[in-house]
Amino acid sequence: MAQRLISYLDSIVARDPAPRSRWEVLLYPGVLAVGLHRVAHWLFEGRLFFLARFVNHLARFLTAIDIHPGAKVGRNLFIDHGFVVIGETAEIGDDVTIYQGSTLGGTNPTNGQGGKRHPTLGNGVIVSLGAAILGPIMVGAGARIGANAVVTKDVPEGATMIGIPAKPTPVEVTEETTGFVPYGTPCSERFDPATQKLEILQCEIETLRGRLADFIAEREAAKPRKRAAKPAADSESDAAA
């Protein structure tokens, strides 16, 4: 148990440069919220729903983080700061990072049955501040959800999603982007959401230029064949005359 706690605290230190020691991490509201959720989830699994809700409300009062007792949380979940909401049927993998103001929200089933209403996050997912992931969708391992993005469809593994509704954006693979990236997106002008539309249009223009070049090359390659066929037709006409 002690070794598992130390491993958990070390995983947070690896993702957050602020703490000076493991003891400081123990004071993080996200750590307290996850710890109390473990208790609430154990009570929930034992069908002690009132007690589970009591622990849930206590955690929310102390940390401003609301994790439903029914949510399934993997190892090393790091909730940075507070004001996070995680719904009842949400499932979170290992080494997931969630920043302040994010929501793993559910949909209202039209058939009146509960079922799976909240998202599933794969291992290593990063959810940036203010993001909303809604409905019983799957967010693939290693995906990054940008700030204030609204995700309503499945996310491929390793994708970086931005916008409302969220769409994948191309991210150059560099040393800066291969490891853990705070807030899910490299801090540079290239990844500024205000410039993303221009960059996407530039990519589309380059794609169209490539297709145009291929089309011109095909036409140029076809011209010698037409010229060779024309003299052959002329010689047949002369022979007939």
Res 37 pLDDT > 80: yes
One-letter amino acid identity for 230?
K
139 vs 207: CA distance, rounded Å:
28
Q: How confident is the model at residue 185 (pLDDT cuts 50, 70, 90)?
A: low
19 vs 211: CA distance, rounded Å:
52
Q: What is the mean pLDDT of the chain?
A: 81
How is domain 2-186 classified at the CATH fold level? Answer: UDP N-Acetylglucosamine Acyltransferase; domain 1 (2.160.10)
Beta strands in the chain (DSSP E): 65-67, 72-73, 78-79, 84-86, 91-92, 97-98, 103-105, 120-121, 126-127, 132-134, 138-139, 144-145, 150-151, 160-162, 167-168
Overall pTM > 0.85: no
Strand partners, 66: 85
Q: Break the chain into its structural domains and give their ranges.
A: 2-186, 192-241
Q: Which of 107-111, 151-155, 182-186, 187-191 has the highest mean pLDDT?
A: 151-155
The mean pLDDT value for 87-114 works out to 83
Q: Is 80 exposed, middle or buried (0-12, 13-18, 19+ CB in 10 A)?
A: buried
- 50-87 confidence digits (pLDDT tens): 999 999 999 999 999 999 999 999 999 999 888 999 99
- Chain length of the chain: 241
Res 180 pLDDT > 70: no
Asked if residues 83 and 29 have their Cβ atoms less than 8 Å apart, the reply is no
218 vs 223: CA distance, rounded Å:
9
Res 169 pLDDT > 80: no
